A and B are shown apart, each in its own frame.
Chain A
């Protein structure tokens, strides 16, 4: 992210000294090419966000009179949300999913792989990174099928466990969260691995060499030299993987459908089910609004950490 290119204003006349009104008019003319992008963003990004806040105060439904003329019901949806035992459960499952699969799983495994790749022989490095990236490049629904087959009661995992004499459980029913967490680690680690590989490659070798000469062990070099040097990449990557994982829908929907019951219904699944399965669009919209607010909080933290790069 480079800084803004020097403005070529000087090439087009004595603008810096021009009076303010022509300044404004010139800026307005220059902003014309932004119109398509602004219209698209206003209509399809800002529109739904505003609509989400508005809709969460109505009793909109899929069918019936409330579908045609939704009424304003105030905070009723939010009151129901707090009274509904499914909501806190879903919130907790979402937190569990994000922390276990993104913050811990993808980041630690990604960092570990990036470190190991440096001391691996060429063919191993090429093969393993291709496999890890392949899981990430696949369309999400195909990855979900692959993970479904892997964790199914008659799937590969239980066949492997059976090979060493362990009768594996039906993962998707008995441990649905564990299955979707592992599946998301499998699918998403490539991103963290690539970010960390790029970051570690930029750590100046002199620093690590100096630490080695001073007798630092491999672990000490990692903790005291490499990690502090790449801390910007770590915080950026933590935020990005958190935001991506917060909105994972397809993987969970295909593998468990949010079930059994609501045992793996994270917030995106719960919002979808309330709105379309139980036809409570207003209630689903309230859940969506909560998610948007959570996402917005994370985004603001993330943007603040990137601030110097925009300025």
Chain B
């Protein structure tokens, strides 16, 4: 049985019939076997990726969750209701929203303003600045956190939400600026030239003509920054000290430290509540830009 399905038992016939069709079957000699093998390998890899993910989903609805993935014997939403209290979940999620939306807004505003002259005028300043920005996209931010901490102590910005928002905005800015400039470059200049001859200023054309045309691009940049900030653990972990200011990433870590070794179900439920918004946003951003590859494409340049 297995031998016949993997290796063709009658070699003469398929070759005779296959010859004229050869250019169509470009995958490999014995395309069906190759396809089967490719699919099998993919299914195995997919299962390896599924197991850790599946644990979060299944443990969150399991009344007796353990660290091992398994179908729950009794479905329950008790884990969710146990963590859905103001101080446990809602305040940290609100803080996370404040941090992410705040840094998203600051980043988008700063990068739109900066991208306009960089995209529209050919200046001697452009090239060194763009190189510096590109360099900034590459800097390992986690490497900076110790000096950032002592700098924030000096500037009296430690445990300050605005300070953290501006820092996160600044770290996201190089990439956002790069993306925004690329989106702006694709808006044709001819439309603005008409407005300029009518006497409109650069800022007016930016607001009235360029921005409406690149609305999806701006949404992509905002969501990109938002997702990054929402998932950022290390920056608020170092810069925000009082629990009532900390976002979900930090409070979920505190929960893990306190109850992580007993209340697996609740940890998983909290993880779900915290992760769902960014998964939704990711789906939205892939719709906005037509394909799921947009973020990688934007990063790739």
Contact = CB atoms under 8 A, between A and B. Distances in A.
Contacts of B141: 247
B202 to A, nearest CB: 7
Interface of B: 23, 26-29, 31, 34-35, 38-39, 41-43, 45-46, 48-53, 55-56, 59, 66-70, 106, 109-111, 113-114, 116-127, 129-136, 138-151, 166-167, 169-171, 173-174, 177, 182, 185-186, 189, 192-193, 196-197, 202-203, 227, 230-234, 238, 249, 252-253, 256, 260, 264, 267-268, 271, 274-275, 278-279, 282, 292-293, 296-297, 299-301
Given A37-B111, A150-B52, A268 B120 contact: no
Contacts of A132: 45-46, 49
Contacts of B139: 45, 49, 292, 295-296, 299
A34 B113 contact: yes
Contacts of B256: 145, 254
Contacts, number: 329
Interface of A: 1-9, 11-12, 27, 30-31, 33-34, 36-38, 40-41, 43-45, 47-49, 51-52, 55, 60, 109, 113, 116-117, 119-121, 124-125, 127-129, 131-135, 137-143, 145-147, 149-150, 152, 154-156, 159-160, 186, 191, 194-195, 197-198, 208-209, 212-213, 217-218, 233, 236-237, 240, 243, 246-250, 254, 267-268, 271-272, 275-276, 281, 284-285, 287-289, 291-292, 295-296, 298-300, 302-303, 306, 309-311
A65 B220 CA distance: 48
B301 A145 contact: no
Contact of B300 (A147, A236, A300): A236
A152 B67 contact: yes
Contact of A45 (B53, B122, B136): B136
Main secondary structure of the interface of A (DSSP, over half): helix
Given A7-B122, A41-B170, A145-B268, 11 more contacts: A2-B185, A5-B120, A6-B189, A124-B46, A137-B282, A138-B275, A142-B275, A146-B271, A156-B51, A243-B138, A292-B140
4 closest cross-chain pairs (CB), A and B: A44-B170, A299-B138, A247-B140, A139-B231
A267 B271 CA distance: 27
A110 to B, nearest CB: 10
B222 to A, nearest CB: 16
Contacts of A125: 42
Contacts of A186: 48-49, 52
A7 B53 contact: no
B271 A142 contact: yes
A267 B146 contact: no
A118 B267 CA distance: 38
Nearest to A239: B138
21 contacts: A11-B197, A12-B196, A27-B125, A37-B111, A40-B166, A40-B173, A45-B139, A48-B148, A55-B146, A119-B34, A119-B38, A121-B35, A139-B233, A195-B296, A217-B28, A268-B140, A284-B146, A292-B140, A299-B139, A303-B131, A303-B135
Nearest to A125: B42
Nearest to A162: B68
A150 B55 CA distance: 8
B35 A4 contact: no
Nearest to B283: A137
A212 B24 CA distance: 11
A284 to B, nearest CB: 4
Given A141-B233, A243-B140, A247-B141, A40 B127 contact: no
Contacts of B50: 131
B234 A250 contact: yes
Contacts of A33: 113-114, 116-117, 203
The residue among B27, B109, B231 with the most chain A CB atoms within 10 A of its own CB is B231
Contact of B39 (A41, A120, A129, A138): A120
A124 B173 contact: no
A276 B31 CA distance: 58
B55 A272 contact: no
A49 B174 CA distance: 15
Contacts of A11: 193, 196-197
